[in-house]
Amino acid sequence: MGQIALRSYGRRGSTPFGTRARVALGQGNVEGGLALAGIDRRAGTAIYAFRLANQHAQPLRPHITCLRPAAAPMPAYTLDVPVAPFEITETILPVRLAEVGPFDRAIVKVSGADIAFTLEAPAPPRRNNRVRWLGVAASLAVLIFGGAFGAATATPHLDLLGTPARAFAGSQLDVPYAFRGWGSMQYTLQTKDGRQLAAGLLTQRQGTLHFAVPRNAGAEIVLAANLSGPLGAMRTSRRIVLASNPLSPKLLLSDAPARIDELAIASPLIRAGSSLKIRYTTNASSGQLWAIDDTGRLWATAELSPDGSSVMNIPQAAAGRKMRVVLRARNGATNAVSSVGILVLPSTAAPEGNAPGAAQAQTLSLDLSSDNAAPGDEVVVSIRGIHGDSRVSLTDATGNTVEQGDVPAGQDAVTLSAPSVKTETTYYVVASVSSGVSEQSLVKKLIVAPR
């Protein structure tokens, strides 16, 4: 059934005013308490404070009786109302002394499907009519200590809510708390415009609240705490000013290895002359996207975008070609590469021969003095056709630039040196050629192998 912890509370060195019980179950804890809060001599009524926090999945039913000396228990108050699962009941139970008669203690029996326990509280001090002054002193003592108990023990009071004055948006926030008294604490974390970020109900009287502050929380958030119990309530709130993180998200991710979680396109069939939208998910701070055909020719490029999508313009001259869209993501010194295949269909708007840029694509070509070289060999890269200033780069399979050179307008060649390798390695010679206001990229494969 669980583990039950009982605790008495009241004046030190005298009869306690009541008991608390906490039952630990696998499906949730049950906590209850019964205490003598005071006595109204004029009305002839003993006042008991009762609280039951049901965090169990089954309803509970409390029932109060008074235990009399050498007699059967006497029903004292009509309290036979079930407490629903995950509900807290707090109430005052008046016991008419004239109806019950002399009794030793009040008992509340709490029972459910798989749980049963009792809470006890003493009877009020009996009045001695023969010695009236002793009765007056006893009444004053009950009132004084009852008031002290109510103020010091039963009335909820927040001792600690350690919110910082300022915090960074997008950071973790830890708030220690502590409260005392008979009750529970409900908290809410909201933005300045009323959006709720977190909320909860606490029965443990001390601990730490953990929050994740969103980056879009605004300039300020408010943490409100509401303490409530049968003998009082308390409400307070704390304001936390949010400041933007001085470190850029790109800088925060610069030490993490580059990673690509997703690379997708709407359809693998693309019309020549149309735009290709590419979606991706990566932690990289920079990178490029390339559209490369089976021969290694580069047809389109795009830059990595922080919003996770980029657009490539596929030229008319690419109709009928199979290509791969390659994403190279870069984070600091690390790289990640992923690709997806596409097929470029002829455009429905214009024949391929009349497509803009088709003639230009035929008049420009890239030639290497040798497709195979040894480490240290010089490779002459020639651009055939009318062109403007051009940039020639030697890159490895992951897209890292090993060497580069410029071919000014009016010249058609540049010399590159084959890098040093231990095994056969494939490199790509990429020429970014400008002609008027347009620009295209030509790619040739270069294999470097040691002799």
The CATH code of the domain that includes 178 is 2.60.40.1930
Per-residue confidence (pLDDT) for residue 362, from 0 to 100: 46
Instruction: Report yes or no on 211 lying in a domain.
Output: yes
402 in the same domain as 285: no
Collapse the DSSP code of 342 into the 3-class scheme (helix H, G, I; strand E, B; otherwise coil) and give the result. Answer: strand
Instruction: Describe the strand order of the beta sheet including 275-282 as a list of residue ranges.
Output: 260-265, 275-282, 309-313
282 in the same domain as 403: no
Distance CA 403, CA 334 (A): 18
Of 269, 283, 278, whose CA–CA distance to 323 is shortest? 269
C-alpha angle 225/215/285, rounded to 5°? 155
266 in the same domain as 234: no
Number of domains in the chain: 4
Instruction: Report yes or no on 308 lying in a domain.
Output: yes
Instruction: Report yes or no on 337 lying in a domain.
Output: yes
Instruction: Describe the strand order of the beta sheet including 74-77 as a list of residue ranges.
Output: 74-77, 61-67, 105-111, 116-122
The DSSP secondary-structure symbol of 359 reads H
Do 36 and 48 form a contact (C-beta atoms < 8 A)? yes
Distance CA 366, CA 382 (A): 6
Distance CA 421, CA 203 (A): 67
- Among candidate residues 220, 243, 266, the one where a domain is terminated: 243
Q: Which residue did the predictor score with more confidence, 29 or 418?
A: 418
> With bands split at pLDDT 50, 70 and 90, how would you rate the model's confidence at 72?
low
Do 408 and 387 form a contact (C-beta atoms < 8 A)? no
Q: Which residue did the predictor score with more confidence, 351 or 20?
A: 20
Distance CA 128, CA 311 (A): 95
Place of tokens 């008294």: 181
440 in the same domain as 394: yes
Stretch 276-302: mean pLDDT, rounded? 88
CATH of the domain at 386: 2.60.40.10
Per-residue confidence (pLDDT) for residue 219, from 0 to 100: 86
Place of tokens 């809060």: 37
130 in the same domain as 42: yes
Instruction: Report yes or no on 267 lying in a domain.
Output: yes
Distance CA 83, CA 86 (A): 9
Per-residue confidence (pLDDT) for residue 189, from 0 to 100: 92
46: CB partners within 8 A, 6+ apart = 36, 39, 94, 95, 97, 106, 123, 124
Phi, psi of 398 (to 5 degrees): -90, 0
- Among candidate residues 119, 153, 187, the one where a domain is terminated: 153
Instruction: Report yes or no on 286 lying in a domain.
Output: yes
Stretch 119-139: mean pLDDT, rounded? 68
274 in the same domain as 163: no
The mean of the pLDDT values for the chain is: 78
Q: Which of 114-128, 169-183, 356-370 holds the top average pLDDT?
A: 169-183
Distance CA 6, CA 206 (A): 19
142 in the same domain as 13: yes
Stretch 113-121: mean pLDDT, rounded? 82
Collapse the DSSP code of 2 into the 3-class scheme (helix H, G, I; strand E, B; otherwise coil) and give the result. Answer: coil
Per-residue confidence (pLDDT) for residue 77, from 0 to 100: 63
196 in the same domain as 71: no
Q: Per-residue pLDDT for 15 more than 80? A: no
123 in the same domain as 51: yes
8 in the same domain as 137: yes
Per-residue confidence (pLDDT) for residue 325, from 0 to 100: 92
Instruction: Report yes or no on 37 lying in a domain.
Output: yes
Sign of the alpha-carbon torsion through 143, 149, 154, 158: positive
Domain of 296? 250-354
209 in the same domain as 105: no
- Among candidate residues 118, 153, 188, the one where a domain is terminated: 153
Instruction: Report yes or no on 359 lying in a domain.
Output: no
119 in the same domain as 27: yes
Of 153, 130, 126, whose CA–CA distance to 41 is shortest? 126
Distance CA 177, CA 188 (A): 14
Per-residue confidence (pLDDT) for residue 54, from 0 to 100: 81
Instruction: Report yes or no on 315 lying in a domain.
Output: yes
Q: How many CB atoms neighbour CB 196 within 10 A?
A: 9
Q: pLDDT above 70 covers what percent of the chain?
A: 79
Q: What region does 331 belong to: left with phi over 0, alpha with psi -120 to 50, or beta?
A: beta
